[in-house]
Amino acid sequence: MTALLEFENVYASYAGAVVLQDVSFSIGKGEFVGLVGRNGAGKSTALHSVYGIPQVQGTISIEGTPVGQRQYEPASRGVSLVPQGKSIFPNLTVEENLLLGRAANRSGSWTVKAIYELFPNLGRGAKRLGTELSGGEQQMLAIGRALMAEPKLLLLDEPTEGLAPVIVDELVSALRTVHERGTAVLLVEQHIGMIQQLASRFIALRTGELAAAGPVEDLGTRDVQEIIAL
Ligand SMILES: Nc1ncnc2c1ncn2[C@@H]1O[C@H](COP(=O)(O)OP(=O)(O)OP(=O)(O)O)[C@@H](O)[C@H]1O
C-alpha cells in the first residue's frame, strides 16, 4: 500500500550545514508514530523538511507523489504541521484562530464544534483572545487549528513542552481521539511516556541519522535508551 508520507534517502541542510543524513522511513495511513532523539538530533528538521524549510535532497512523498519545494503544498495535500512553541495568532480570538485553519474545500468532520468537543476549554472561551489563554490552551488551539485543515497526517512537534502533567493527560486523551477518528500522527516528543501511551511504532534519530526504529515496546530497551537518553 502507498505510504501516506515517505522519506527516501533524505538529506536536509541549513545554509550548507547538513543536519539530516540519508534518512528513510514511511508512515502508513492511520498510523501513530513517535519520532525521538536527543536535543539537536534533527527531529524538528525532519518535520520541517516536509515543508521544504531546510534545503532538502532525496525524496519526500505524500501518497506516492513527491512534494516540491513549495512550502505550502503539503497542507493542501493533507499533511498539517503544529510547530514547536504555541503557534497561534495572539491577537485573534479562539474562534478566529480556528477559522483561519479551515481547509478551502472541506469534506471532513473537523468543524469548530468538533474542536470544542475535543477541547472543551476552548469552547468555553471561544471569544477570548489568544493572549488570554494558558499555555495548555494555546497548544490545544494550535492543534485544533491544524485539524481544521482536515489532515490525513498531523505532524506534532513537542506539544507537551512546558505543560503541567494534568494538561499533558488532556492532550494524550485528545490525541487518542484524533487518531481513533482516522488521522495518522507523527509525534516528536521528549516525553517518552506520551509516545508509549499513544504510538505503535517509533523512529529514533541520532545526530541526523536514523539510528533505530521498531515497535513502541522497544523504546525501553538499553540499545534504544542509549540513543535517546538525555
Ligand atoms: N534554522 C536553522 N538554521 C541553522 N541551523 C539549524 C536551524 N534549525 C535547526 N538547526 C540546527 O540543526 C540541528 C538539529 O536541530 P533540530 O531542531 O532539528 O533538532 P531537534 O532534534 O528537533 O532538537 P530539539 O529536541 O532540541 O528541538 C541542530 O544542530 C540545530 O542547531
Looking at residue 2, its pLDDT comes to 86
| CB-ligand 1 contact for 228 (6 Å cutoff) | no
Residue 101 has a pLDDT of 86
Whether residue 203 contacts residue 35, with contact meaning beta carbons closer than 8 Å, is answered with: yes
What's residue 200's pLDDT? 97
How far does the centroid of ligand 1 lie from the alpha carbon of residue 195, in Å? 21
**Top-tier CATH class for 5-228:** alpha beta
What's the rounded mean pLDDT across residues 221-225? 90
pLDDT of residue 67: 87
Give the pLDDT score at 69.
60
- pLDDT tens-digit profile of 48-77? 999 888 899 999 999 998 887 665 666 778
Q: Each residue of 78-135: pLDDT tens digit?
A: 899 999 987 899 999 999 999 988 866 666 789 999 999 999 999 998 999 999 999 9
Secondary structure string (H, E, C) spanning the chain:
CCCCEEEEEEEEEECCEEEEEEEEEEECCCCEEEEECCCCCCHHHHHHHCCCCCEEEEEEEECCEECCCCCCHHHHCCEEEECCCCCCCCCCEHHHHHHHCCCCCCCCCCCHHHHHHHCHHHHHCCCCEHHHCCHHHHHHHHHHHHHCCCCCEEEEECCCCCCCHHHHHHHHHHHHHHHHCCCEEEEECCCHHHHHHHCCEEEEEECCEEEEEEEHHHHHCHHHHHHHCC
Give ipTM to 2 decimals: 0.95
| C-alpha 63 to ligand 1 mean position (Å) | 27
CA separation, residue 62 to residues 3, 9, 35, 107 (Å):
7, 15, 18, 19
Q: How far apart are CA 125 and CA 132, in angstroms?
A: 10
Q: What is the mean pLDDT of residues 169-176?
A: 96
Could you tell me which residues come within 8 angstroms of residue 206 by beta carbon, excluding any fewer than 6 positions away? 37, 38, 41, 227
Alpha carbon nearest to ligand 1 atom 24, residue: 39
The ligand 1 atom at the shortest distance from the C-alpha of residue 190 is 25
Instruction: Report the alpha-carbon distance of residue 108 to residue 152 in Å, rounded.
Output: 10
The stretch 162-178 carries a mean pLDDT of 94
Mean of pLDDT values over 149-172: 93
pLDDT at 102: 83
Atom of ligand 1 minimally distant from the CA of 45: 18
Q: What was the pLDDT predicted at 92?
A: 94
How many Å lie between the centroid of ligand 1 and the Cα of residue 42?
Answer: 6
Which of 14, 21, 156, 192 should be mutated for ligand 1, with most atoms under 8 A from CB?
14
Task: Give 12's strand partners.
Answer: 20, 56
Q: For the segment 8-26, what is each residue's pLDDT rounded down to a tens digit?
A: 999 999 998 999 999 999 9
Determine which residue's CA is closest to atom 5 belonging to ligand 1.
14
For residue 3, give the C-alpha cell.
505510504
